[in-house]
Amino acid sequence: MKSTRKAYGEFLVEEGKKDSNIVVFDADLAMATCTNMFRQEFPDRHFDIGISEQDMVGTACGMALSGKKVFASTFAMFMAGRAYEQIRNTAAYSHVNINLCATHAGIAVGEDGPTHQCIEDIALMNVIPTMKVFSPADDISTKKILKMCLNESGPKYIRLGRSETPTIYDENSEFKLGGSNVFGNGKFGTIFATGMTVSIALEAKEELAKQGKDVRVVDLYSIKPVDRDTIINCAKETDILVSIEDHSVIGGIGSIVSNVLCEEYPKKLVKIGIEDRFGKSGNFKELYKLFGLSKENIISKFE
């Protein structure tokens, strides 16, 4: 069990040791985003811009244009929400090579409540031309996807979580731009998941297998570009399609999968996510139950 933000902090320290060209920006949340781990090792390469997310993105872009390898972090709410125009016009339109690592995404933020629970960031980032969007499911995939980002140019948004989540991958697991990972080859159905909901989908898969319902789980860690071929194959090979995400059902992976299905292989998809409403303040596990981000809710869709 480890949070993806903690894995991010560890990644920064590991890569920072190898490459002195890496610099990190934060907006007064270094302890929470875990960039503090990098700051302790490399104080001269960590820049706390204060509670000024718009300027953090602007300044980080200037640094990237000057040849540095830049990671910039704050909560997803303040990155995708508050600095939206700077991300769109300064980072993306100018094709700046920048890694925007947004932590505390989704209702898994818990007690901080709806003002801090960003359930729209996938939609907001996905629609920006040329933006690449990633959503790792555990600590290992976080590090591997971030490593991949170091070799990909242009603007990238990496969605990370606050809460601890089970490790589902091992060191041999592979990740690529526009890829996905499929667990199992069941024909009964497919569960499309991303981020913290992947481990929940895997639990549901095990329970369903006991009922004789063999389903597969697809980890859509690369949200943009998305793995269209795998989505189409799953639609062709399996009967029931379900998506689950800690994000609004409007504009999240459910919508993205629906778009692909609609264009290539029309088929019903049952979407699990946050309906057209805000989150709530509370313990994240209780919130996940309340909002239906649970294995029980997934299983009910296969009845």
Partner 1 sequence: MGLAKKISNEDGYVYCLVGDGEIEEGQFYEALMTMNKFKLSNVILFIDKNNLQIDGRVEDIKSHRDLKKKIESFGLYTQEIDGHNFNEIEKAVANAKESNLPSCIIANTIKGKGISFMENQVAWHGKSLNDDEFKQAMEELEET
Q: Which residues contact 263 (CB under 8 A, 6 or more apart)?
A: none
In the complex, least distance from residue 219 CB atom to partner 1, rounded to whole angstroms = 36
Give catalytic status of residue 174 as yes or no: no
Strand ranges across the sheet with 181-183: 181-183, 215-219, 189-193, 240-248, 270-274
φ, ψ of residue 71 in degrees (nearest 5) = -120, 130
| DSSP-derived 3-state class of residue 243 | strand
Q: Which residues bind partner 1 (CB under 8 A)?
A: 23, 44-45, 47, 49-50, 52, 54-55, 58-59, 62-63, 65-68, 86
- Kindly tell me which of 55 and 152 has the beta carbon lying closer to partner 1: 55
Q: Are 158 and 144 in contact (CB under 8 A)?
A: no
In the complex, least distance from residue 75 CB atom to partner 1, rounded to whole angstroms = 17
- Kindly tell me which of 52 and 297 has the beta carbon lying closer to partner 1: 52
Distance between CA atoms of 42 and 27, rounded to whole angstroms? 17
- Kindly tell me which of 153 and 259 has the beta carbon lying closer to partner 1: 153
In the complex, least distance from residue 88 CB atom to partner 1, rounded to whole angstroms = 13
In the complex, least distance from residue 36 CB atom to partner 1, rounded to whole angstroms = 18
Amino acid at 15: E
Report the alpha-carbon angle 165-167-173, nearest 5: 135
At 72, list the tokens.
């910039």
Catalytic residue among 53, 237, 245, 296: 53
- Kindly tell me which of 45 and 280 has the beta carbon lying closer to partner 1: 45
- Kindly tell me which of 89 and 233 has the beta carbon lying closer to partner 1: 89
φ, ψ of residue 47 in degrees (nearest 5) = -120, 115
> Is the four-CA dihedral 221, 225, 229, 234 of positive or negative sign?
positive
Residues involved in catalysis:
53
